[in-house]
Structure 1
C-alpha cells in the first residue's frame, strides 16, 4: 500500500465504485493540498457526488485508497469513518438537511454540541456564522418557518461553525438565487482561506468553479483533467494521473 504524498492533506488513488450495475467511479485518483479549494466539475451523472462521498468517508470505495493526513480512510470501519466525519470533516449538501425540531442556531451549532462543546460557546460560534451569512434573523426559527435560501445558508453555517479540516460541498449554491449564490460563495471561500480549511467543491457551474484554485473534471466516472484556475497565485498544481 503506497503512502500518500506528504504535501497532500487528502489523497485518493484508483477509486472504483458502482451503484448496482451502473459504474460511478472508474479509477479516479486525486490529491488535495492543505488550504486548497478544489472544484470537481462535470455534467450530471459524471460521478462528482460519489467521489466526494468516498473522499469524505460516507461511502467505502469498492476498490482503491483514500488517505487523510497520511492515515488510511478506506480501511476504517463504520464507527471510525463516522468519528472522522464528525470531528474533522464538514459537509454541505445540494439540499439543506436540517433537523426540523431544532432552531436555526441549534442546527448551526449541532456539530459543536455533538463534540461536547459547552452550550454557550457553541451558540456564540453559531450566531457569528449566521450573521456572516446574513441569516441571523432565522436564528430562533425552525426550518418549517424559513425560506429555502435561509435553510441552505444555515446548512452552510453548520458546516463552517466547527472549522473542519476539510469541507466537502456538493453543489452548495444550487437552491439559491443568483444574488444569494454570489454572496454565499464569497463567504464560503473567504472563510476557507482565512481559517485554512481545505475545500472540495462539486459543481457543474463554470462561475462557481472559477472561485477554486484548481479544477478536476469528471466524465462518465473518469478523470479527464486538472487545470489550475487563473489568478490563483501561489497555488501549485498537485494532480495525480489516472
Structure 2
C-alpha cells in the first residue's frame, strides 16, 4: 500500500461500493487537505452519501483504500472504525437523529461524554454551541417538544462541540427553512476555519457548495471533475447570501 501525501488529512483511492448489486461508487479517488472545506456535489443518487460514509469509516469499501492522517482506515475492524469516529470524526446528517430521552444540551454533549470529558466541561461546550446556533433556549427541552429546524441545529451543535479533526456533513441544511440556512452554514464554516476543522460537505445546492474551498463533483458513482471554489473575497460575498 502507498501512503498518501503528508498534507492530506484524508485520502481515498479507487473506492468501489454497491448497494444490493447497484453500483454507488465506481473507482472514486479523492484527497482532502488539512483545514480544507471540500464540497462533494452531484444530483441525488450520484454517490455523495456513500462516499462520505466510506471516508468516515461508517462503511467499509468493497475495494479501494481510505487513509486518515497517513494511517489506513480500510483495514480497520468494526471496533477500530467506531473508535476513530468517536474520537476524531464528527457527523451531521440530513436528519438530526437526536436521542429522544435526552434534553437539548445532553444531546449536544453526548459525544464529549462518551469520549470521557467531564460532565461540567461537556455541558459548558454544549451550551456554548447551542447559543452560537441560536437554540440556547432549547437546552432543557427534549426533541419531541422542538421544531425540526431546532433539532437540526442541536445536531450541528453536537458535531461541533467535540471539535473533531474532520467533520462530515451530509446535506446539513436540507431540513432548514431558507431564512435559517445562511446563518447555520455561516456558523458551520466559520467554526471550521477558526478551530481548524477539516470539513467534507455533501450538497446538490451550488450556493452551499460556494462556501467551500474546493468542489468535487460526482455523477453515477464516478468523479466528474474538481472545480476550484471562489477566492476568499468570493466566499465572503457568498456567505452574505441567503441560501
TM-score range, shorter chain: over 0.9
Q: Name the CA distance, whole Å, in 1 between partners of 2:195 and 2:230.
A: 22
Partner residue in 2 for 1:187: 187
Q: Name the CA distance, whole Å, in 1 between partners of 2:95 and 2:14.
A: 29
Q: Name the CA distance, whole Å, in 2 between partners of 1:130 and 1:7.
A: 32
* Structure 2 residue 130 is the aligned partner of structure 1 residue 146: no
Deviation of the 1:226 alpha carbon: 0.7
Instruction: String of CA shifts for 1:115-138, please: whole Å, max 9, x gaps.
Output: 111101000000000000000010
Deviation of the 1:163 alpha carbon: 0.1
Partner residue in 2 for 1:207: 207
Partner residue in 2 for 1:218: 218
What's the TM-score, normalizing by structure 1?
A: 0.95
Q: How does 1:32-181 map to 2 (within 5 A)?
A: 32-181=32-181
* RMSD (CA atoms): 0.7
Instruction: String of CA shifts for 1:119-161, please: whole Å, max 9, x gaps.
Output: 0100000000000000001000000000000000000000000
Q: Name the CA distance, whole Å, in 2 between partners of 1:175 and 1:106.
A: 21
Partner residue in 2 for 1:239: none
| SS of 2:211 mapped into structure 1 | coil
| SS of 1:174 mapped into structure 2 | coil
Structure 1: runs of 5 or more not aligned: 234-242
* Structure 2 residue 31 is the aligned partner of structure 1 residue 31: yes
Q: Name the CA distance, whole Å, in 2 between partners of 1:230 and 1:107.
A: 35
Deviation of the 1:58 alpha carbon: 0.1
Return structure 1 stretches of 4+ with deviation > 3 angstroms: none
Q: Name the CA distance, whole Å, in 1 between partners of 2:107 and 2:150.
A: 12
Deviation of the 1:232 alpha carbon: 3.6
